[in-house]
Amino acid sequence: MPGINEVAELAGVSTATVSRALSGNGHVSSATRQRVLTAAKTLGYVVSSNASSLATGRTKNVGVVIPFLSRWFFSSVIEGAESALLSHGYDLTLYNLGGGGDERRSVFEHFLLRKRVDAVIAISLELTPGEVGRLLAMNKPIVGVGGPLPGVRTLSIDDVEVARLATEHLLSLGHRAIAHIGGDPASETDFHLPTNRRVGYELALQAEGISPDPELFHVGDFTIEGGYRAAKQLLGQPRKRPTAVFAASDEMAIGTILAARDMGLTVPRDVSVIGIDDHELSAFFGLSTIAQFPALQGQMAVEILMEELHPSARHAGAPHIPLPYELIVRGSTARPVSR
Amino acid sequence: MPGINEVAELAGVSTATVSRALSGNGHVSSATRQRVLTAAKTLGYVVSSNASSLATGRTKNVGVVIPFLSRWFFSSVIEGAESALLSHGYDLTLYNLGGGGDERRSVFEHFLLRKRVDAVIAISLELTPGEVGRLLAMNKPIVGVGGPLPGVRTLSIDDVEVARLATEHLLSLGHRAIAHIGGDPASETDFHLPTNRRVGYELALQAEGISPDPELFHVGDFTIEGGYRAAKQLLGQPRKRPTAVFAASDEMAIGTILAARDMGLTVPRDVSVIGIDDHELSAFFGLSTIAQFPALQGQMAVEILMEELHPSARHAGAPHIPLPYELIVRGSTARPVSR
DNA sequence: GTGAAAGCGCTAACAG
DNA sequence: CTGTTAGCGCTTTCAC
């Protein structure tokens, strides 16, 4: 493997010039730059990122910490972040906390501090002040996706508003008995997402003078199966079967559609269903939903990081950036049929 | 941030001793080791991986290259690899080739060669001899998952056998008109996986004296939707509606179940369905399948890499290791009802 | 068992 | 515009 010396020798210049020519820092006459470039190419020279990092203090690598990986939403965020980073010449080092246990501690106290990453993107993770503090103390910018984090620039959708919008869609169609399948607030790690979505749902109902009925709420676990089970309960109630269901995620909404079918109910005739996410399966199931764009979220997180890493002019940047969302109406929602 | 000097000073030893004490290389009296350890702890010292890598030539980081991320199978493999790597003290740097275009070239010619990774795991990627050669020339071990790769230790299930087993299951139940939903051989990148599975299917049929009927084969694209569409075609044939469908992936099999339902057919009474993967949704749909264990695959890839990285004794290691699979019979397969 | 010192490969002043 | 020269922070012979 050729080093910078070989290139310098071949090009007939000093290593400093090679470094300048290749990195673009400092002036080099285009003639010599050309020579350096061809020399590097013929030798197949590639800089050693370690040596470079050691000398500059920058690694061109960012750590992404995430609670799960094998879930559409998360892997999509990563996908967006990864390609954005790649295009900026950065690497992405992945830390999946799924395993639970000591993993989280070891990642934060060890892996992330080894000067291997320039910055950290935390996805749907409520970092502790200690975790944030340590990272910031080492001068590593953090950007959070999924909720507000004190002292950290974050990106998130307004869960209350999103839920309200979904509920309003149902309301505007004429539904009054609207059930909600949400997450278990007891086990919420993700910035009270389940609670916020439930609040949005209730606000929308109240604005129409409807008081939320606790019997019209069931807990799912953000999976198709969880949604299926909750929907069975909801749709099986003899007295007050809802005419519509708002699920806090598309996966639960799909479970609801499947449950309805299994009970012989037709969607949307007998029951309307709406979710949140615009999951890859949602179009297939004709599910109305509020799209949030996970890949875009990953990409935006990277852009913000780049701003922090390369502060350009007076670019303060808001501490918290709201993420776009959009109501997508497909076939699973319609006016209720009067029975 | 404390450096090794501070620790040395606090412990009253030389930096060399600190290095030895912390890394476990070389002898240090347990008394001084103890002092070093506490000094390091009180200072909150963490080695700089760059400096360490530069000095040793090892990075404790492996690159994982993958064609997609937001697909259950792939993210599960990564999950398995990630946690195995973490437990060995290694980082995982992710390269997702999904974007297509120049990404692949830039990853192989640039990112992977910067001395940032010690080794590479290639998942479902048919590396070119050039790609393999460059990596090996830099002394970076590679392990491939998903198919054989000349000159590389690989891990993969025997697709022919897996498909044969699935088909035999159907056959043994008494089915004769067995359709197959496979991948498009024209666009196959993944080691002829679609072809191999089709071959296994045909071999099983032929062993029973049944000659494969091209009209009983349809192409899906490994998604639920693709399976759904293909199944509709298959199950809609007026003259020879199959009594069973073997789909080359669980996602397509699930699409088949949904298509059957939409056509008013009952699974398994009217049609039996089997897939391959044991996807996270398969249990929910009661799908019979051949499980392959993606997380385990990721984990095994890591173990092999560790062997290559830390050659212990006379451990040659087979060039190609078959992966385990297992028939899981659920409710989607049964004897055909004579009509 | 421990210390001194020479790098690992590159970058960033500082001169010129 | 380009060369010289210190390091960046750690590991690892080689002595003691």
Which nucleotide, over all strands, has the C1' atom closest to the CA of A55? D8
The tens digit of pLDDT for each residue in A62-79 reads 999 999 898 999 999 999
Task: Quickly give A138 CA vs C14 C1' distance in Å.
Answer: 29
Query: Is B159-291 in CATH node 3.40.50.2300?
Result: yes
Are A99 and B34 within 8 A, CB to CB?
no
Residue B322 bridge partners (DSSP): B156
Query: With contacts defined as CB-CB under 8 Å, which chain B residues touch A48?
Result: 54, 114-115
Instruction: Say if the Cβ atoms of B50 and A53 lie within 8 Å.
Output: yes
* Domain boundaries of chain B, sorted by first residue: 4-55, 59-157+294-322, 159-291
Give the DSSP letter of residue A149: B
CA dist B325 and B156 (Å) reads 10
Q: How far is A45 from chain B (nearest CA, A)?
A: 9
The CATH class of B4-55 is: mainly alpha
Query: With contacts defined as CB-CB under 8 Å, which chain A residues touch B299?
Result: none
C-alpha R_g of chain B: 26
Mutate to test the interface with B, among A41, A86, A229, A262 (most CBs of B within 10 A): A86
Query: With contacts defined as CB-CB under 8 Å, which chain A residues touch B284?
Result: 224-225, 228
Per-residue pLDDT tens digits of chain A, which is 339 residues long = 789 999 999 999 999 999 999 998 888 999 999 999 999 999 999 999 999 999 999 999 999 999 989 899 999 999 999 999 999 999 999 999 976 678 888 888 888 888 899 999 999 998 999 999 989 888 899 999 988 888 899 999 999 999 999 999 999 999 999 999 999 887 766 688 889 999 999 999 999 999 999 999 999 999 999 999 999 999 999 988 999 999 999 999 999 999 999 999 999 999 999 999 999 999 999 999 999 999 999 999 999 999 988 876 556 678 889 999 999 999 999 999 875
CA of A217: how far to CAs of A84, A179, A227, in Å?
Answer: 39, 6, 12
Are A89 and A120 within 8 A, CB to CB?
no
- For B53, the closest chain A residue by CA position comes to A50
- Which window residues (55-84, chain B) lie with Cβ within 7 Å of strand D? 55-56
The overall average pLDDT reported for chain B is: 92
Half-sphere exposure of A140 (CA within 13 A, CB side): 29
Q: In which residue are the tokens 């199959």 written?
A: B242
The tens digit of pLDDT for each residue in B4-54 reads 999 999 999 999 999 999 999 889 999 999 999 999 999 999 999 999 999
Task: Quickly give A109 CA vs C9 C1' distance in Å.
Answer: 29
CATH superfamily of domain region A59-157+294-322: Response regulator (3.40.50.2300)
Q: Do domains A4-55 and A159-291 have the same CATH topology?
A: no
The tens digit of pLDDT for each residue in A97-149 reads 976 678 888 888 888 888 899 999 999 998 999 999 989 888 899 999 988 88
Residue in A46, A61, A103 nearest the CB of B110: A46
